[in-house]
Amino acid sequence: MTSINTYIDHTQLKATSTLNDIALLCKEAMEHHFYAVCVNGCYTAFAKRN
């Protein structure tokens, strides 16, 4: 049976988000095996590296 986590997008779209917020978002997504992260466009490259 597939975990529901593989269908979840973890999202942080606040204009006030920091690099630390995005790094934590990516870490949580990897730990919980989420399908994807959604971030503000200015953080896309950073999220990809993390």
Task: For 8-17, write each residue's pLDDT tens digit.
Answer: 999 999 999 9
pLDDT of 9: 95
Domain boundaries of the chain, sorted by first residue: 4-49
- Is residue 45 packed enough to be buried (19+ CB in 10 Å), middle (13-18) or exposed (0-12)? exposed
Once rounded to an integer, what is the mean pLDDT over residues 23-42?
97
pLDDT of 7: 94
Distances (CA, A) of 3 to 13, 16, 18, 24: 25, 32, 30, 22
Once rounded to an integer, what is the mean pLDDT over residues 27-39?
97
Say if residues 12 and 39 touch (Cβ distance below 8 Å).
Answer: yes
pLDDT of 1: 58
Once rounded to an integer, what is the mean pLDDT over residues 11-34?
97
pLDDT of 3: 87
Say if residues 10 and 36 touch (Cβ distance below 8 Å).
Answer: yes
